Structure formats: structure tokens, C-alpha cells
């Protein structure tokens, strides 16, 4: 049963004194709700998270064009730069700068454009 609404008394505050509601922490709220979910509900949450991750990956890939200069961290944490050569659905093909150019296939979410 939803909580009862408190009757607002006009004498409590004037319209100028109204405080904005605090910003909601969406992640914390989601975590609290998930702790009460059944297995079936958790499967629905999992599917929704996967769809959102896929959407963000697609949006990230669409932000690049062939010829863009990009930067990323390699497997050992080394900062690398290169040029975009091809955009796939979830990944971006990049030719790394350097004396021996190498081709990398990188998740679009790991790349940042160099201005």
C-alpha cells in the first residue's frame, strides 16, 4: 500500500521558500530494488542492463569516423594513439601510430577522440 500523502498546510511555507528535492542517486535506488527481486525479475533486470550496454556501445561507435585520431590504453596500460580505419557495429579498427604501425580492433567505449 502506498504511503499516505501528507496534507500540506499553506501556513508552513511560502512559495518562495520551497526547496528543490534532492537529486536521486539512480544506481543506489536500483541496487536497493534489486535486493528484493525474484529470480525472474532479476533476469528481466539483466536483460535490460545488457540492452542498455549494447545501446551505449552503438552510440560510442557512431561517434567516430574513418580518419579520426584516437587514443586508448593498451593491454599493459600503455597510452596509445592511432587513426580510425573502419567502424564496425561494436568495435573500431585503428591503426596505431609508431615506427611499425599495427592494426588494433578496440571496443568503441574504450576510445577517446584526440582534438
Alpha-carbon distances of 97 from 46, 83, 103, rounded to whole Å: 39, 7, 10
Among 25-29, 43-47, 76-80, name the most confident range: 43-47
**Pairing between strand 103-107 and 91-96?**
antiparallel
Domain coordinates in residue numbering, the chain = 24-115
Q: Are 92 and 80 in contact (CB under 8 A)?
A: no
pTM over 0.95: no
- In whole angstroms, what is the distance from residue 110 CA to residue 79 CA? 12
Grid coordinates standing for 95? 591503426
**Strand partners of residue 80:** 72
- Is the pLDDT reported for residue 45 higher than 60? yes
- CATH C-level class of 24-115: mainly beta
pLDDT, mean over the chain: 83
Amino acid at each position: 500500500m502506498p504511503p499516505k500523502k501528507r496534507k500540506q498546510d499553506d501556513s508552513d511555507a511560502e512559495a518562495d521558500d520551497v526547496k528543490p528535492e534532492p537529486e536521486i542517486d539512480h544506481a543506489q535506488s536500483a541496487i536497493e530494488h534489486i535486493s528484493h527481486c525474484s529470480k525472474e525479475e532479476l533476469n528481466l533486470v539483466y536483460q535490460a542492463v545488457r540492452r542498455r550496454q549494447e545501446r551505449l556501445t552503438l552510440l560510442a561507435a557512431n561517434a567516430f569516423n574513418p580518419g579520426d585520431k584516437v587514443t586508448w590504453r593498451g593491454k599493459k596500460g600503455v597510452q596509445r594513439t592511432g587513426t580510425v580505419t573502419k567502424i564496425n557495429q561494436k568495435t573500431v579498427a585503428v591503426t596505431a601510430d609508431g615506427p611499425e604501425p599495427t592494426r588494433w580492433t578496440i571496443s568503441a567505449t574504450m576510445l577517446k577522440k584526440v582534438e
